[in-house]
């Protein structure tokens, strides 16, 4: 891994663990194992490096989401696969967690990957739900955009509940509840 990549990866991890304010340039340099000149050779400063790290998180999240959404299975199975894929519930989402950081939310450049990624998930899930309605796999009569927003809220809110309880149980319960609700959309279509 070259220096630029080590800096981005170190920043990704530190942002996830500590947030933006809790991540100092010194911490980034130490984690990456590079000198100060290296950081400023590749980035204009902490914000520029954080923007690159957040964009990397966003790109990776979308790629992993597409792998699930594009699978050659039924719509319901893809929705369940999205909800039940392995996650580190106690650490939270690499993107969603950043919405708790006031410095990231206040900066349009740093906030952009959050807005775009969470918006992309809502849109992509809405498309998938509409596909299920069109194929008859899911019942008619619900608004795909609203159900998609609820699914994203279950995942992101599940992280918050798990962290608050210091247990994955609330996250697992939220996901199981969402899967059960989605099952009713499928059962009603039969």
Residue 113 contacts residue 54 (beta carbons within 8 Å) = yes
Contacts of 104 (CB under 8 A, 6+ apart): 19, 20, 50, 54, 98, 110, 111, 114
Distances in Å between the Cα of 5 and the Cα atoms of 80, 84, 91 are 34, 30, 23
Cα separation of 127 and 124, whole Å? Answer: 5
- Domains plus CATH for the chain? 57-187 (1.10.357.10)
156-190 tens-digit pLDDT: 999 999 999 999 999 999 999 999 999 999 986 66
Predicted confidence band of residue 103 (pLDDT cuts 50, 70, 90): very high
Separation of alpha carbons 23 and 14, rounded Å: 6
* pTM of this structure: 0.91
């Amino acid at each position: 891994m070259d220096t630029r990549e080590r800096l981005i990866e170190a920043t990704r991890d530190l942002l996830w663990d500590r947030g933006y304010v809790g991540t100092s340039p010194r911490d980034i340099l130490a984690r990456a194992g590079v000198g100060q000149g290296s950081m400023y050779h590749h980035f204009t400063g902490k914000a520029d490096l954080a923007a690159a790290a957040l964009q990397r998180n966003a790109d990776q999240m979308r790629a992993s989401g597409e792998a699930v959404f594009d699978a050659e299975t039924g719509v319901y199975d893809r929705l369940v696969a999205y909800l039940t894929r392995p996650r580190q519930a106690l650490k939270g989402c690499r993107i969603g967690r950043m919405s708790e950081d006031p410095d990231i939310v206040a900066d349009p450049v740093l906030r952009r990957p959050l807005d775009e990624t969470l918006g992309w998930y809502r849109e992509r899930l809405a498309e998938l739900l509409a596909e299920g309605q069109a194929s008859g796999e899911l019942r008619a009569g619900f608004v795909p955009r609203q159900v998609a927003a609820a699914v994203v809220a279950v995942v992101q809110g599940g992280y918050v509940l798990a962290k608050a309880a210091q247990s994955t149980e609330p996250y697992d319960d939220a996901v199981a509840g969402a899967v059960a609700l989605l099952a009713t959309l499928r059962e009603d279509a039969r």
